Chain A
Amino acid sequence: MQITEIDGDLASCHSGGITRTVNLFIFERGVLKPGDYVLVHVGYAIQKIDPEAAQLAWETEREMQGAIRGDPNA
C-alpha cells in the first residue's frame, strides 16, 4: 500500500481504490514518508517496499538469461 498521509504512528494508505489506516509503530519515527510503499500485515506496516530493487533484479535476471542464450538484444 502507498502512504498518503502520516499522523504520529498512524498512516493513511491506499491501494487499488482501498484506503486504510495503518499502524507504523514497527518503524522508527521519520523512517517512512508519504509516497512510500509498505507491506501491511494485520494492520501494521511490517516492511518498506522498494519497487526499484524489484525492477533492477528483473533487469539483471533478464540480462543474465540473455547472456546465457547469447541473445545480443538482452
Chain B
Amino acid sequence: MSNQRARQLLDQINTLAPSNPFKIMNVCGGHERTINLAGLRSLLPGHIELIPGPGCPVCICPEETIAMAIAIALNEPVVVVTFGDMLHVPINTARGEPRSLEQARAAGANIHPIASPLEARTIALRHPTQQVVFFMAGFETTSAPTAALIAEGIPDNLLLLLAARRTWPAVAQLLNRDQAGFDALIAPGHVSAVMGSDEWRFVAERHQRPVAVAGFDAASLLAAICSVTQQAINGEATLVNSYPAVVTPSGNRHAQHLIDQTFTTVDSRWRGIGTIPASGYALKKKYRLHDAHIHFSKYSAQSHHKDEMPPGCDCAKVILGKEPPDHCPLYGTACTPSNPVGPCMVSDEGACRIWWSSGLHKQRRAKQA
C-alpha cells in the first residue's frame, strides 16, 4: 500500500507547478535519511528543492560542553557515558590535546558509549561508589526519556551534563532573519509525536509558510511535500499533519509534564549558530546535586571555546540550510566518515554523513574526475 501511495503522490506532485523555485526545509536527520535512501530529490520536479536544516543535536552541541565532558573525563575519577556518535565529534583544541571524547578515552579516560538513558542508570547502580556523568545531547525526543530517567528515581551517583535542545526555537530563529532560506517546512515526526503538531502552527500563522508534519516512510514525506507545495500554489499557509498514526495536535501530554517537572527552559548556544532564546533545557534547581554543569563548573569557567566549527568546515552553513553538504570543499576529500573533519560527518543524523552514506560521494567523485 505504501508503494502505491508513494507513486500516486509522486504523480500528483509532478503535476504541481510552483511558479518559482520552491525550497522545502526539513529539520530531522531521519527525514533526511529517508529522502536520500528513497532518492526523492531525483524523483521530484527540478523546481522543488529539499533542504536539510538544523536536524542533528550532536552537530549543534556547543564545543564548550564537549570540552567540559573531556576535561571531566580526564581529570575526575568518574565514568562518562554518552550516545555513541558523540564520542567522535571533533572540537578545536590546542595542539596535542584530545580533540574528541574518543581521543580522551585513548588517553585513559573512563568513557562508555550508551544507546539509552537506561544504560546510564544501570552503570551508575553497578558502580555505586563512583560518580557517573551522563553527557546527553538530544532534542525533545531524547529529552523526554531523560526526564523520565530522573523522575523515575535517579541514583545518587548519577549526574547529567545536559546539551538538550528544543527544535522549534531554531526554526523560529531562521524565520526571524531577513532571509529564512526556505519557503515551506517539513516538521519533525518524532519531536511532534512528543510535543504535538500544534507547536508548528506558528510557521504558518506568524510567518505565512506552509508546514506539514511527516513520518519516516517515503509516502508520509511525499504527502507532506505534496501538501506544502499545493498550499503554496493556492496561496495558503496552514499546518497539516501527514503523520496521523503517531502525531496528534497536543502530543504526549504526560511526556511534556515530565519535561516541565524536570527541566527549565533556558537560552542556549548552538554550535555554528550562536545563542537561541529559550532553545534548551537545564535541570531544575531541585536536581542541582545531579547537575554536572554546576558540580564541575570549574571546567566550564576554563573553557575558551567559541563554538566554532573546525577550520575549513562548512557545517554551520549546512545546518542553517544555506549550503548542501557536497558544496563544502572538504566533503569527500579531506572529510569522510572514517576521517571526519566536522560534526555533520560524524553523527548518523548529520547531513554530510547521511549524504555520504547514501552514495552521494560517488557523484562528487564523478564530477571531479
Contacts and interface: CB of A to CB of B under 8 A. Distances in A.
Interface of A: 9, 23, 25-28, 31, 39, 41-44, 46-51, 53-54, 56-58, 61-62, 65
Given A26-B258, A27-B254, A49-B245, A43 B5 contact: no
Given A26-B258, A47-B193, A41 B246 contact: no
B116 A25 contact: no
A41 B190 contact: yes
B200 to A, nearest CB: 16
B194 A46 contact: yes
A42 B142 contact: yes
Interface string B240-269: 001011110001101100100000000000
A46 B118 contact: no
Given A39-B193, A57-B244, A25 B152 contact: yes
A58 B5 contact: yes
Interface stretch (B33-41, B143-151, B174-182, B346-354): B143-151
A25 B258 CA distance: 10
Contacts of B252: 26-27, 46-47
Interface residues of B, number: 30
Nearest to A58: B5
B117 interface: yes
A55 to B, nearest CB: 8
B137 to A, nearest CB: 12
Contacts of A41: 141-142, 145, 190
A42 B213 CA distance: 21
A58 B1 CA distance: 10
A25 B259 CA distance: 12
B12 interface: yes
A43 B118 CA distance: 7
Nearest to A52: B245
Interface string B185-225: 00000100110000000000000000000000000000100
Interface in B124-155: 141-142, 144-145, 148, 151-152
Q: By CB atoms of chain B within 10 A, which of A25, A28, A48, A61 has the most? A: A25
16 contacts: A23-B148, A26-B145, A26-B148, A26-B255, A28-B254, A31-B254, A41-B141, A42-B117, A42-B145, A43-B117, A44-B145, A44-B148, A46-B193, A47-B251, A48-B246, A54-B245
A39 B59 CA distance: 24
Contacts of B1: 58
B116 A51 contact: no
A35 B349 CA distance: 31
B289 interface: no
B326 to A, nearest CB: 30
B363 interface: no
Contacts of A9: 152
Contacts of A26: 144-145, 148, 252, 254-255, 258
Determine the main DSSP class of B at the interface with A: helix
Nearest to A27: B254
Contacts of B106: none
Contacts of A49: 245-246
B141 A46 contact: yes
Given A43-B117, A49-B246, A57-B245, 4 more contacts: A23-B118, A25-B151, A39-B246, A42-B115
A40 B151 CA distance: 19
B8 interface: yes
A14 B5 CA distance: 26
Nearest to A31: B254
Nearest to B1: A58
B263 to A, nearest CB: 14
A47 B115 contact: no
Given A27-B254, A46-B144, A58-B5, A39 B190 contact: yes
Contact of A51 (B117, B145, B245): B245
Interface in B290-329: none
